[in-house]
Structure 1
Amino acid sequence: MFADVMLPLSLTLIMGSLGLTLTPADFRRVLTAPKGVGIGLANLLVISPLLAFSVSELYGLTAVLAVGIVLLGSSPGGTTANMFTHLARGDVALSVSMTAVSSVASVITVPLFLGLAADHFGAEDISDQISMPGIAAKVFLITIVPLSIGMLIRARRTEWTLRNMAKAKRVALTAFVLVVVGAIISEFDEVSGSLDEVAPAVITFNVLAMTVSYLIARGAKLNGKQATAIALELGVHNTTVALAVAASVDDDLTAPAAVYGIFMFVTAGLFARFMARRNAEDPPPAPAPTTAPAA
């Protein structure tokens, strides 16, 4: 019941609400502000899955749990990351753009890294159930379709959308909480049985992803607000996408995403609170120099 009905319905609400917040400008920012978006996406689409591989190896996880963490690490950012970025006084526009582009890219990245992880960790029980075209089609249906519908509604009924934006975000957050709780209840035996093994791994992955991505962004000379947005995008993955894909392959794959969905609020919340103080103290960027008119 949960995997077949509640999970897809909740994910549709979440991705549809994300679409309501997006405009074509959020995708064009890849061209108009390529450095920030490019570094952020490189972290999200490449560094994050590689860290998931490394953490799984570090903790010596069973094959299924290791694949589950890689699936989580290859999932896109979500609206919750945008919310935490706002609370942290980070660059919300950059966060939204990364969420938008990574959601589209997930049609390729999720099945790609899922297949690589199954082969690498020798998850023979699930490797035969992984079909690249099938997973790509599922990710397309659960992400791109509702996201596009949300964007279309915003384009056609902009005033109505803006009036109801806060309500849509509350609905999405409620749906997310219900998804995590539902996943834990429906797979309680699996989650509780592997909690002592999964919890340290997902917490390590979460903290490491935020730390590494923040340092990379700062090393690339991005400002604190941009680095904050990138770090939170890696610290708050779209858990519902990971759960939906995991449930379609093997229920045992859902444990890492379900456990991660609990702890990410704590770690990301602490990081957001710390960065909110630092970003509030940062001076505003200097205005671009203007050329004096010729005498």
Structure 2
Amino acid sequence: MNLFKKFNSAFTSNLSMFVVLTALLALMFPSFFTPLSGYVSVLLQIIMFTMGLTLKASDFSHVLKNPTSVIMVSAIQYLFMPLSAFAIAKLFGLSGDVALGLIIVGSVPGGTASNIMALLANGNVPLSVSATTVSTLLSPFVTPLLIATYGGAFIDIAFWPMFLSITQIVLVPIVLGLVVSHLLGDKSEKIKTAMPSFSSMAVLLVLAGTVSVNRENLLTGGLTVVLAVLVHHLLAYAIVYFIYGLFNASAITKRTCAIEVAAQNTGLSASLGLTHFSPEAALAGAAGTIVHTLVGMMFGSLCAKKDTKEAEGGKAAARARNASATVLQRTY
């Protein structure tokens, strides 16, 4: 078990490397990975099932104990992200399904990878998990409405097919996961230790499928989409830090909420794009998986290093104070 825990930790900590490697392999050998695109929805259901399996009663009680931060995260996520995606799509001259893909990325809930990033950043993991859970449970109702509202400027969009699709992909698997976890009781604890790696592997398979079917689009006009996704992602960090700064929130709360808002469920966005529109509509989702993971992991690493330096500085200051006190005692 200790060996598995070490593997689990090493795999999730190096997720950004595996994301880049998976994207490169999908670009180099598209015919090998293209069949995966037909299983994106199933893979998303597996990811959501693992999320439901790992949820605890404390995750929901945290929402009740500290509702303000969780509500603020969902509000910023569902108000700012789709609006900024629409504006960036216009700014970068994106059109049709490609523009719609960016709007889908801005309209989906937070991704489960945000919880890993929050852990890496020494953030408030219970808050991260609670915020992901709330935004995910809201998504069947909110996401189709946002996509129809903002995406309707580019193409005609039907609300109910997406509502049913998100319910099947998100809500049903999470509920099943909760039920299985309850039935297994303490026996589920051993299974839960494998879930972060298992879920991350499923995300990599989703990425491989969406990149492979979009190989030509990525090679010809992918840079523009990647840049648009990057700007959209970085704006999320900026707006969260600005808003939470107005409320004098702690550094830990700021970084946790910034990660939660910025790290969208790009797998779900890719699935919606492939299922209801075209491979081009999944392009931003594929780019988002790479950008969100790389930036999120880098941000988390920087936060951890900052904490380490501040802790070392505090210890050094304490040693200096102790040394000064010793000298004064000897002098007097």
TM range (shorter): 0.7 to 0.9
The answer to whether the Cα contact below 8 Å between 2:119 and 2:125 also exists between their aligned partners in 1 is yes
- Who is 1:200 aligned against? 227
Mapped pair 1:84 → 2:129: no
- Who is 1:288 aligned against? none
Match of 1:227 among 235, 254, 258: 254
Q: Give 3-state SS (helix, strand or coil) of 1:14's partner.
A: helix
- Who is 2:99 aligned against? 66
1:230-249 CA distances to partner (integer Å, 9 max, x unpaired)?
Answer: 11112211111111111112
- Who is 1:45 aligned against? 78
- Which has the larger share of helix? 2
1:187-214 CA distances to partner (integer Å, 9 max, x unpaired)?
Answer: 2122323212201100111111122112
Mapped pair 1:109 → 2:136: no
Query: Which segment is superposed worse, 270-279 or 256-265?
Result: 270-279
TM-score by length of 2: 0.78
The answer to whether the Cα contact below 8 Å between 2:114 and 2:128 also exists between their aligned partners in 1 is yes
The answer to whether the Cα contact below 8 Å between 2:103 and 2:151 also exists between their aligned partners in 1 is no
The answer to whether the Cα contact below 8 Å between 1:52 and 1:73 also exists between their aligned partners in 2 is yes
Match of 1:32 among 62, 65, 79: 65
Query: Which segment is superposed worse, 73-82 or 42-51?
Result: 42-51
Compared CA separation, residues 279 and 214, structure 1 to 2 (3 A): farther
Query: Which segment is superposed worse, 153-162 or 99-108?
Result: 153-162
Mapped pair 1:2 → 2:36: yes
The answer to whether the Cα contact below 8 Å between 1:29 and 1:37 also exists between their aligned partners in 2 is no
TM-score by length of 1: 0.88
Mapped pair 1:16 → 2:41: no
User: What runs of 5+ residues in structure 1 fail to find an aligned partner?
Assistant: 284-295
Distance 2:85 2:54 in 1: 29
Mapped pair 1:263 → 2:291: yes
Distance 1:119 1:11 in 2: 25
Query: Which segment is superposed worse, 29-38 or 230-239?
Result: 29-38
Measure how far apart 1:81 and its partner are. Answer: 0.4
Compared CA separation, residues 34 and 221, structure 1 to 2 (3 A): farther
Compared CA separation, residues 31 and 190, structure 1 to 2 (3 A): same
The answer to whether the Cα contact below 8 Å between 1:224 and 1:279 also exists between their aligned partners in 2 is no
Match of 1:245 among 259, 272, 276: 272
User: What runs of 5+ residues in structure 2 fail to find an aligned partner?
Assistant: 1-34, 315-332
Measure how far apart 1:279 and its partner are. Answer: 4.7
Match of 2:90 among 29, 53, 57: 57
Distance 1:272 1:109 in 2: 29
Q: Give 3-state SS (helix, strand or coil) of 2:194's partner.
A: helix
Match of 2:301 among 270, 273, 285: 273
The answer to whether the Cα contact below 8 Å between 2:83 and 2:150 also exists between their aligned partners in 1 is no
Task: Report percent identity of matched pairs.
Answer: 25
RMSD: 1.8
Query: Which segment is superposed worse, 254-263 or 61-70?
Result: 61-70
Counterpart of 1:25, as a letter, is S
Compared CA separation, residues 119 and 8, structure 1 to 2 (3 A): closer
Distance 2:256 2:185 in 1: 26
Q: Give 3-state SS (helix, strand or coil) of 2:43's partner.
A: helix
The answer to whether the Cα contact below 8 Å between 2:104 and 2:269 also exists between their aligned partners in 1 is yes
1:46-84 CA distances to partner (integer Å, 9 max, x unpaired)?
Answer: 111122122212212123222111110111112200000
Q: Number of aligned pairs?
A: 276
- Who is 1:135 aligned against? 162
Match of 2:207 among 180, 194, 217: 180
The answer to whether the Cα contact below 8 Å between 1:81 and 1:233 also exists between their aligned partners in 2 is yes
Distance 2:111 2:52 in 1: 11
Counterpart of 1:85, as a letter, is A
- Who is 2:7 aligned against? none
Counterpart of 1:12, as a letter, is Q
